[in-house]
Amino acid sequence: MLEQLNARLDTLSSSLQLRSARQQVLASNIANVDTPGYVARDIDFGAALENALTGKVRRPLEQTNVRHLTVTSTDGLIGNPLAYTVQTQPSLDGNSVDLDQQRANFTDNAIRYESTLRFINGHVKTMLSAITGQ
Residue 37 · residue 84 · CB < 8 Å: no
Residues spanned by the domain of 10:
2-132
pTM of the model: 0.76
Domain total for the chain?
Answer: 1
Per residue in 113-130, pLDDT tens? 999 999 999 988 988 888
**Residues 6 or more apart whose Cβ sits within 8 Å of residue 18:** 43, 45, 48, 49, 52, 77, 80
Q: What is the pLDDT of residues 28-58, one digit of tens each?
A: 999 999 999 999 999 888 888 888 888 765 5
